[in-house]
Amino acid sequence: MKLFSAQNITYSINENKLFHKLSFEINSAEGLHIKGGNGSGKSTLLRIILGITSPSKGSIESFNQDLKIAYLGHKNAIKNYLTPIQNLELLFNDVELNLAFKWLHKFGLSHVQDELTANLSFGQQKKLALIRVLAKSSELIVLDEPFVGLDQVATDQLNNFLIEKLSEGVGLVFTSHIKPMIECKVLHLGRNNA
């Protein structure tokens, strides 16, 4: 099933084209890995796909207006003055909360679950932020550099989770400098796109 398609997407900042006339589509059970150097517009493209940022030219067509999207960008969207448990309670309903607690345990965060999130390390905060995506039922997962800050165990767990989600029919779009274990289409942003 087609989730969305991008037609001739162009994005410019002060006359400089980050990318030019990109066209692609995402279907269920399909992954898209967006690659490119620093400043090539990977995060911007994700935000355009999500509808947060408007493209300079071109359009994104979504085939389901009520598409459930799980997104994790550069900003973690976690509250430093709350504990990990409180952060999760803020995000999830009772059903999802059980799954979120399981991920908290899997990621080895159980021993810090009652500490202030501000006191956690960068990696621990990243894991907590990832639980937002992992425990949420969604049809499309959008991740910006999801492997940054994760140890090898957590990286493998995330890879396995994403492979499992793809097999369940969820669409996946992500940016990463690390070669993932997931088989998916690759979109390379660079000079040839501008």
Partner 1 sequence: MLRLIKSESFKLSNKLKAWLGPLLIMVLVLIAFPLSIDISQYDLDKFYFSIIVVSLLMTSFVATEGMFEEDFEDGSLEQEFLIEKDFYKLVLSKIFVYVCLIGIPIAFIGALFSFANGVAIGSFAKVFLLLSLSNLLLFNLFAFGNALSINKGAMLGVLSSLPLALPVIILLGRAIRSIQYGDGFSTIIILMLGIGLVMSAIMPLIISATLKTHID
User: Where does this chain bind partner 1 (CB under 8 A)?
Assistant: 47, 50-54, 69, 71, 73-82, 86, 89-90, 132
Cβ nearer to partner 1, comparing 50 with 184: 50
Whole-angstrom Cα distance, residue 178 to residue 154?
14
Is residue 138 within 8 A of residue 50, CB to CB? The reply is no
Cβ nearer to partner 1, comparing 91 with 163: 91
Reduced to 3 DSSP states, what percent helix, strand and coil does the chain have, rounded to the nearest 5? 35, 30, 35
CB-count burial class (<10 Å; 0-12, 13-18, 19+) for 113: middle
HEC profile of 45-66: HHHHHHCCCCCCEEEEEECCCC
Is residue 185 within 8 A of residue 33, CB to CB? The reply is yes
Supply the minimum distance, in Å, between the C-beta of residue 64 and partner 1: 13
Supply the minimum distance, in Å, between the C-beta of residue 142 and partner 1: 9
Supply the minimum distance, in Å, between the C-beta of residue 150 and partner 1: 18
Supply the minimum distance, in Å, between the C-beta of residue 60 and partner 1: 14
Cβ nearer to partner 1, comparing 148 with 163: 148
Cβ nearer to partner 1, comparing 54 with 121: 54
Cβ nearer to partner 1, comparing 21 with 79: 79
CB-count burial class (<10 Å; 0-12, 13-18, 19+) for 50: middle
Supply the minimum distance, in Å, between the C-beta of residue 42 and partner 1: 16
